[in-house]
Amino acid sequence: MTQRDHGRSRPISGPEAAPEAGAPSRRAVLHGGAALGGAALLGAGLAPTSAAAAPALLRGGRAGLSHGVASGDVTRSSAVLWARADAPGRLVAEVRLPGRGGGWRTVPGPVVTEASDLTGTIRLEGLLPGELYEYRLAVETADGAGPSEAGRLRTAPRARSDVSFTWTGDTAGQGWGRRLEEGLPGFGAMLATDPDFVVHSGDTVYADGPIAPEVLLPDGTTWRNVVSDGVEEVAQDLDQFRGRHRYNRGDHHVRALTSAVPLYAQWDDHEVTNNWYPGEVLTDPRYTRERRTDVLAQRGRRAFVEYHPLDGRRRDSEGKVYGRFARGPHLDLFMLDMRTYRGVNTANTQPAAGPETPFLGREQADWLVRETRRSRATWKVVLADMPLGVVVPDGSLFEAVANGVDGPPLGRELEIASLLSRLKRARVGGLVWLTADVHWSAAHRYDPAAAGFSDFDPFWEFVAGPIHAGAFPVGALDGTFGPQRVFASGPSGPNESPAGDHQFFGHVAVEGATGAMTVSLRTSRGAVVHSQVLEPS
């Protein structure tokens, strides 16, 4: 984030590179996911396929689920279910068919062991579009099935029906953990809007942010954190990264939300460490056992993949996390990865493209142009890790795209300028960018008539976060792409606690009959602070 330190069919698998072997390659860093995939499911007759061969189930009592259930990467015909067991066993799903008299079908999943921290996923196929599916997940051992936990999901519609969702980012940062009295209440406020799904736009955890039992507030009162899973120090080994995800998933608000609606999750820097980039070697003295970010990123990515309902089929051999998700005729989601393919953080003023200027990388940028051009959806919503025109410093260097110099593109701005020009030439309409990251909320309209670089079509960008972390004052805008600040809200000073008024999430509602999109920015208590209606062109 900033110098302020905020922020199947086949599984992804691969051994973690041994630190003694030297810094791993980018391929090794990206391919370090744990074995998570489960059995495929459900055709027209809803007969499950057989599970992959697995070790014999152990005796020693029945196993339960330790961190709730979740679904994710839902399409019109497929979904991924997730759970974590409290002991080794086979993950099993029961899925209820929609409609009157819909019966239950059993779907065997993978055997989960300590190798994946007892997490596992089951991919469902052959689902019907626009239908509500109930499911139950449980763990079977040789002594039988343990208690199940229930969830539900709605598949993406085929018809032009109403669609709504929420998005946010930045969870349990700056030492503001699960408060003893109320946990992470912003997730409950999102659930109260009754969305069809939720997007977490990065910084799903703060692996680099220790959480102490108590924090003294400016008014003299004490904020008391739940402390568990090793969150008192920065994460360096794999279990510490996993512990950060266990910590957040231990919250009852998070568990209620992920059991009720599908989750689309992306990662950013704090899943590893603040402002990291490939090849960096940390100088932070807190990192005493490992300072190579490539090694830390491998561990952080593996924990991220293990603890989210991600569909392994959308990854390539390098384990990419960006992807496209259709949510009906009016809405396509394009989830980006602004962390993995970037160059080093610099002064960001290079006059020509070079090895230091990538931000998305050529392959991902080509993918975005190609897939948005193919999309026939009314709205192409780009889920970005970071805002495009906000100046985000990293000490004397820069962490995001903007460099604070109004005028023609320089540094990382060169790649984004090329991308925006290509989208214009491809006649891609209906682009809306959603992001979090900077720990304040805003609505920006990017206007080529007011920009230092004008070869692009106007578009909107909405910023919403943090959902539970330190809030920071509204930052400066860079005029290269002409962002016009229509709304912004943040505290007057740095690191305001989640007890303040500047925790945010965003809500999007697309009307099925007209295609009109209403974007509202809301506090973590549910109050609407800004609303913008966008009409389809």
Q: Is the pLDDT of residue 12 over 90?
A: no
Is-cis flag, bond preceding 483, omega within 30?
no
Quick check: 149 and 86 in contact, CB under 8 A? no
Q: Average pLDDT of 493-521? A: 97
- Predicted local confidence at residue 144, as pLDDT: 87
pLDDT at 208 over 60: yes
Q: How confident is the model at residue 57 (pLDDT cuts 50, 70, 90)?
A: low
Q: What is the pLDDT of residue 52?
A: 37
Predicted pLDDT of residue 60: 59
Residue 134 structure tokens? 């109930």
User: Is pLDDT of 20 > 50?
Assistant: no
Cα separation of 133 and 114, whole Å? 30
Backbone phi, psi, residue 470, to 5°? -65, 135
Q: Give me the mean pLDDT over the 332-354 stretch.
A: 97
Selected residue with higher pLDDT from 4 and 49: 4
Side-chain half-sphere of 412: how many Cα atoms within 13 Å?
Answer: 30
Average pLDDT for 118-144: 95
- Note the Cα 248 to chain centre separation in Å: 13
Can you read off the two tokens belonging to residue 401?
């795209």
State percent of the chain over pLDDT 90: 84
**Residue 529: what pLDDT?**
98
CB 230 within 8 A of CB 239: yes
d(CA 168, CA 16): 30
Provide the edge-to-edge strand list for the sheet that holds 441-446: 323-326, 331-335, 379-383, 431-435, 459-463, 441-446, 483-489
**pLDDT at position 45, please?**
30
Query: Residue 265: pLDDT above 70?
Result: yes
The predicted pLDDT at position 316 comes to: 58
| pLDDT confidence bin for 314, thresholds 50/70/90 | low
182: which residues sit within 8 A by CB, 6+ positions away? none
216-245 mean pLDDT? 97
What average pLDDT is seen over the chain? 89
State which H helix or E strand residue 429 sits in.
Answer: none
d(CA 243, CA 237): 10
pLDDT in tens, 443-458: 999 999 999 999 999 9
User: Is the pLDDT confidence value at 181 over 70?
Assistant: yes
Q: Give the alpha-carbon dihedral of 342, 211, 440, 276, to 10 degrees.
A: -10
Q: How confident is the model at residue 15 (pLDDT cuts 50, 70, 90)?
A: very low
- The answer to whether the Cα torsion of 248, 339, 395, 477 is positive or negative is negative
Whole-number pLDDT of residue 17: 33
198 vs 71: CA distance, rounded Å: 11
More confidently predicted of 172 and 26: 172
Helix (H, G, I), strand (E, B) or coil at 178: coil
- For residue 2, the model assigns a pLDDT of 42
Rounded average pLDDT over 408-424: 98
Rounded to 5 degrees, what are φ and ψ at 421?
-65, -40
- Could you tell me the pLDDT band of residue 321, with boundaries at 50, 70 and 90? confident
3-state secondary structure of 257: helix
Q: Are strands 163-168 and 197-201 parallel, antiparallel or unpaired?
A: parallel
pLDDT at residue 318 above 70? no
Least confident stretch, 101-105, 248-252, 329-333:
101-105
Give me 527's structure tokens: 């109050």
Return d(Cα 178, Cα 185) in angstroms, integer.
9
Write out pLDDT tens, residues 136-164: 999 999 888 899 999 999 999 999 999 99
What is the DSSP track for 244-263? Answer: HHHHHHTSHHHHHHHHHS-E
pLDDT tens figures, 233-260: 999 999 999 999 999 999 999 999 999 9
Which among 350, 325, 363 is positioned nearest to 401, based on CA atoms? Answer: 350
Backbone angles phi, psi at 424, to 5 degrees: -65, -45
Residue 117 tokens read as 């921290």
Q: How far apart are CA 508 and CA 167, in angstroms?
A: 8
